Structures are given as C-alpha cells and as structure tokens.
C-alpha cells in the first residue's frame, strides 16, 4: 500500500526510554497494514544482533546495517513504503537530506534515537531531524537515583559520572549507562 504523501516521524529520548520498542511497534503495525517495510541501522551498533534492531526489552525486527546514510537510497527496494531508521544519532548529517528525499517520494520515515548525548547536549543529526519531522515523540525512562521521570542518559566510568571532555561516542567500551532526571544527571568538567 502506497501512502498518499510521505512523512517523517521521530521517536527520541534517553537510553532505556523504550525508543526501539516504539519503533518496532510502529513497524509491526505497518507490516500488518500490508505496507512494505525496510529498516536501517548504523553498522557500529552490534550490541545484540548485526542484522536486527533489538530493544533492551528484547523486541527484534530485521534491519540492514549501513555505514553512511546515503546507503539507504541505494539499498531501498522499489516497493518500500515505510523506512525505519534506528540509532539515528549515530548517522552522518546526510541522514537529514535522505529522510527528506524519502518523504518527498511518499515514503513514511520513522527515525528513533537519542536526542541528547551523555553530556545532555543535542546528539548528532537528531535536532535537525526533530525540527523537520511532522511528528516527534519524546519518551522518558525512570531515574535510577530517585525513581522520577528521566530525560537524560548518564554515562558511568568505574561507577562515577563520565567527564564532560570524554568522547561522545565510544565503540565497544565497557561503560555503564543509566537513565537520570535533570536533577541527578551529572557531568563534571575537567579531569
């Protein structure tokens, strides 16, 4: 089933807020509606399965790992009507024109990702995707300190908050992350 017009939807929030579960829920609904779905994820995301998007809760959906956002256009099947993009914050800035191009072709684009990094600052292309989207849903987790609503991702290194100057993206590192509210989110400056 072809859509009459394309759109961009963004599902964002901190780690452990259910972003990938929500993405998968929308993709399953599109599949039930007999729409052709393709999902793309950054090749660096190998946490659970290389060719699947997998939530922390264990939900899974087949996905194509790619290095650069422009690969989406090259790997897109002609009859695809819904494109899912997981961990959108890790993609290069080209994910924005790619999403626009797909929407202009009448494709529904659903992008999920962290809206802020461990510092609490806008993450990668997410702010621009959010601003050009027709629909943005910001999900919240539960603060691991007070049990309140969490909107931040806390990176811990050896049990202590990561420093502001630490790298934003660390592939294969053994850091631990927690969801935190604004009050309990800590990012010390300097080493």
Indicate which residues carry an active-site annotation.
87
DSSP codes joined into one string, 157-168: ETTEEPPTTS-S
Closest of 129, 67, 136, 75 to residue 99, by C-alpha? 129
CA geometry: angle at 96 spanning 66 and 9, to 5°? 95
Rounded CA separation 150/130 (Å): 19
Rounded CA separation 3/145 (Å): 44
CB 153 within 8 A of CB 116: yes
């Amino acid at each position: 089933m072809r859509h009459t017009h394309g759109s961009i939807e963004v599902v964002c929030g901190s780690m452990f807020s259910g972003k990938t579960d929500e993405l998968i829920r929308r993709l399953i609904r599109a599949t039930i509606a007999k729409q052709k779905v393709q999902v793309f994820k950054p090749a660096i995301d190998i946490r659970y399965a290389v060719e699947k998007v997998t939530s922390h809760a264990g939900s899974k959906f087949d996905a194509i790992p790619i290095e650069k956002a422009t690969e989406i256009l090259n790997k897109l099947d002609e009859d695809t009507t819904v494109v899912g993009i997981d961990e959108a914050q890790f993609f290069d800035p080209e994910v924005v024109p790619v999403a626009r191009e797909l929407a202009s072709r009448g494709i529904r684009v659903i992008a999920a990702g962290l809206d802020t990094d461990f510092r609490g600052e806008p993450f990668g292309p997410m702010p621009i995707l959010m601003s050009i989207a027709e629909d943005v849903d910001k999900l919240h987790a539960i603060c691991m300190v007070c049990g309140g609503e969490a909107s931040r991702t806390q990176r811990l290194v050896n049990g202590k908050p990561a420093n502001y100057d630490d790298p934003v993206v660390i592939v294969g590192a053994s850091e631990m992350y927690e969801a935190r509210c604004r009050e309990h989110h800590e990012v010390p400056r300097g080493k």
